[in-house]
Amino acid sequence: MLDAAPIRTDWTREEAEAIYNKPFMDLLFQAHTVHRQYFDPNQVQKSKLLSIKTGGCAEDCAYCSQSARNGAQLSASKLIEVQRVIAEARKAKEGGATRYCMGAAWRSPKDRDMAALEAMVQGVKDLGMETCMTLGMLEEEQVFRLRDAGLDYYNHNIDTSERYYSEIITTRTFADRIDTLNRVREAGIKVCSGGIVGMGEQQLDRIDMMLALATLEAHPDSVPVNMLIPIADTPLADVEKLDPIEFVRSVALARILMPKSHVRLSAGRTDMSDEMQAMCFFAGANSIFVGDTLLTADNPEEDKDQQLFDRLGITAMAVGCDGSR
């Protein structure tokens, strides 16, 4: 038995580039070897998303259906009722999801929303599920309030490399994102942070995005890797489709650089073949979003995912199981 790959936060650009550009079979073999050292390769964690406040967002993220600055015609909703969130979470639990992720189309939450957000966290936690929120940038006081309500994870993606960031978002900086991630980690909430590939970035941007995550003070506990879902009337609506092999390479790089993290095969699965998803699982992805809607966009039907799991002999990871040995 080989020694487990060490957990390192001092990866260099040269190392990351060399890994990403290995012959594909060598890359997959290395990623899968590392994956097996830390996880059961036949288990995949299921998370469920709910949009608790949709549309009308003040930020200008070029990929997003929910930005008020994009042309996408999505009407803005108010923050939904706490009881509705808990009822939806209960259904998700019955469907086998172990983590419930509540997302809001905000630059950051307003203080007047905090009491309802705390009640959502407490209510979902009382169901025995892990809780996750993604609400935009947070001040320290807001982080403490969510932590004290029992929030397990906070999702805050760096989305792309620092170099490409201003091509995608101009209303905040890469450094703003890192500040919130540091506040969340320092408060003891687990960090979920990843990004999007297929936004017209260069290969080096994909490498640098993974490198930025892997050289944070601690690796994020979860790393969502999203394939861009092109949304009509947004600036990225007609961006050239990325070679799926580049996507799999990105997943493999995430697995090798961050061996203990859950790597989530996130947005974009409706456009992926079963074979491509299987290859992503082999390359180290071990979490998905279940349910036919993400926040606003389509996701595979639950039956379809179950059939794929059955064909691959994959079972759902239990709550609280980080798979580590």
Query: Which residues of this chain interact with ligand SF4, rule CB under 6 A?
Result: 57, 59, 61, 64, 66-67, 105, 136
Our finding on whether 282 is near ligand SAM (CB under 6 A) is no
Helix axis angle, 244-257 relative to 24-38, nearest 10°?
40
**Per-residue contact track with ligand DTB, 100 to 119, x per CB under 6 A?**
-x-x----------------
Among 55, 103, 220, 259, binds ligand SAM (CB under 6 A): 103
The least CB distance from residue 21 to ligand DTB, in Å, is 25
Distance CA 115, CA 128 (A): 21
Any known ligand binding at 280?
no
CB atoms within 10 A of CB 233: 11
Any known ligand binding at 264?
yes
Size of the site for ligand SAM (CB under 6 A): 18
Beta pairing, strands 222-227 & 153-155 = unpaired
Our finding on whether 247 is near ligand SAM (CB under 6 A) is no
Q: Which residues pair with 101 in a beta bridge?
A: 49, 132
Tell me, yes or no, if 99 is annotated catalytic.
no
Backbone angles phi, psi at 134, to 5 degrees: -140, 105
Q: Residue 44 is inside which H or E element, if any?
A: strand 43-53
Q: Which residues pair with 132 in a beta bridge?
A: 101, 153
Among 62, 97, 105, 314, binds ligand SAM (CB under 6 A): 105
What is the identity of the amino acid at 36?
Answer: R
Name the catalytic one among 99, 177, 183, 192.
192
- Sign of the dihedral defined by the CA atoms of residues 304, 305, 310, 312, in that order: positive
Any known ligand binding at 101?
yes
Which of ligand DTB, ligand SAM, ligand SF4, none sits in contact with 67, Cβ below 5 to 8 A by type? ligand SF4
Q: Which is nearer to ligand DTB, 189 or 229 (CB)?
A: 229
Annotated binding site for [4Fe-4S] cluster: 57, 61, 64
